[in-house]
Structure 1
């Protein structure tokens, strides 16, 4: 079998099974594990998958710039954002993550809402300037330009003094075994710190993030108390989230 044919089958298995193991692939193709590991390395370098110990997972597609991501799948993002905004109650302290999903979330928050929003995203903060009843607290630090958020030790220190009711988390990967992940190490630290300071963590996940993984783990899937997804998301996958005790909210486009 040609290498290209083998890689095509590996991608098909990733799509259908959610992960592949090097030993099982070695047996299936009747080739050495070294050959499979070489295939996986090459595919990972092409951004086709995310290598993990013993095998590989589907790779997250969230690797383009912020401005490019903001133009991708706008309708599903708006539906998820609207469903998330409806979870916010008057008087709450709310942490809003950075990223394109959070930018949509801010647009859905009514100007009549009285609440406190904590964010490490300058974009989120600016989006709330015209909300007269929302107090905005900005977490400072080094600017991570890919997501336009503050990261670093100063940000972690400021986060440690917050007690929030709810945290809306953006991720690049949501996977049952690999957990919640993102593409930057410092950003993963920040998200983990924010999650630890909120009574409830709500993950906002468009379909391209589901059953995918990035390089840096934020935490196990159970860090999330709830996940807001598109209406069309796989019922089978969502039932597995529910079995983990995670509430699943399907966003409608209406």
Structure 2
């Protein structure tokens, strides 16, 4: 089998199965494992997949800028936000991550009782400019413009000084084996710090993020309290997460 044919097969299997196990594919094709691993390394260098120990995963697609993402999966994000808002209780201190999914949550936060919103996203803070009952605390630091969140030492110091009741986390990808991931090293570290300083962490996920992987690991799936996903997803898509006893709420 030619190299190009092997790579086409690998791409097809990734799309179908959501992962490649180098040893298994090598045995199936009667090739050396080194040959498959070389193909995976080359495809990873071309930005076609993500190499992991023992094989490969689909690479989470590059994210457009914040403004462009506002219109992507807007209905899903609105449903996720409405579901998440029902968890909040009077007097809660909640931490809202940056991103367009949490922005959808910010728009439907309860307006009949008082609570506190902490965020490291100026965009999220602006969404709450006219909210009648939310007290807003904005974390400062170095602005990561792509996600419109602050990162760095100043942000981490402030985050470690709080204790949130609920952290609503956004990620770029989630995988049963490789956990929650994102595209920036400092952003991953910031998300970990927030989760460590929250009693509950709920991860809001649109469909396209499931079964994917980004370069920087935030935490394994055992760490967050639960996942909030769109209703009506195929059972086989959620089965690997349910098998891990992950709490899943369908919005």
TM-score bucket (shorter structure): over 0.9
CA positional deviation for 1:37: 2.7
Structure 1-normalised TM-score?
A: 0.92
SS in 1 for 2:222: helix
Greater CA drift, 148-157 or 75-84? 75-84
2:129 maps to what in 1? 129
CA positional deviation for 1:154: 1.1
1:182 aligns with 2:172: no
1:61 maps to what in 2? 61
CA positional deviation for 1:207: 0.9
SS in 2 for 1:223: coil
Structure 2-normalised TM-score?
A: 0.93
Greater CA drift, 74-83 or 104-113? 104-113
1:234 maps to what in 2? 234
1:247 maps to what in 2? 247
Q: Number of paired residues?
A: 251
Q: For residues 155 and 231 of structure 1, do their structure 2 counterparts lie closer, same or farther at Cα, with a shift above 3 Å needed?
A: same
Q: Runs of 5+ in structure 1 lacking a partner?
A: none
1:9-158 matched pairs, under 5 angstroms? 9-158=9-158
CA distance in 2, matches of 1:113, 1:8: 56
1:160-199 matched pairs, under 5 angstroms? 160-199=160-199
Q: Runs of 5+ in structure 2 lacking a partner?
A: none
Q: For residues 113 and 15 of structure 1, do their structure 2 counterparts lie closer, same or farther at Cα, with a shift above 3 Å needed?
A: farther
CA positional deviation for 1:28: 2.3
CA displacement, residues 73-127 of structure 1 (integer Å, 9 cap, x when unaligned): 1111111111111221121000100011111111121333411001000000111
CA positional deviation for 1:26: 2.2
Q: CA RMSD in A?
A: 1.7
SS in 1 for 2:77: helix
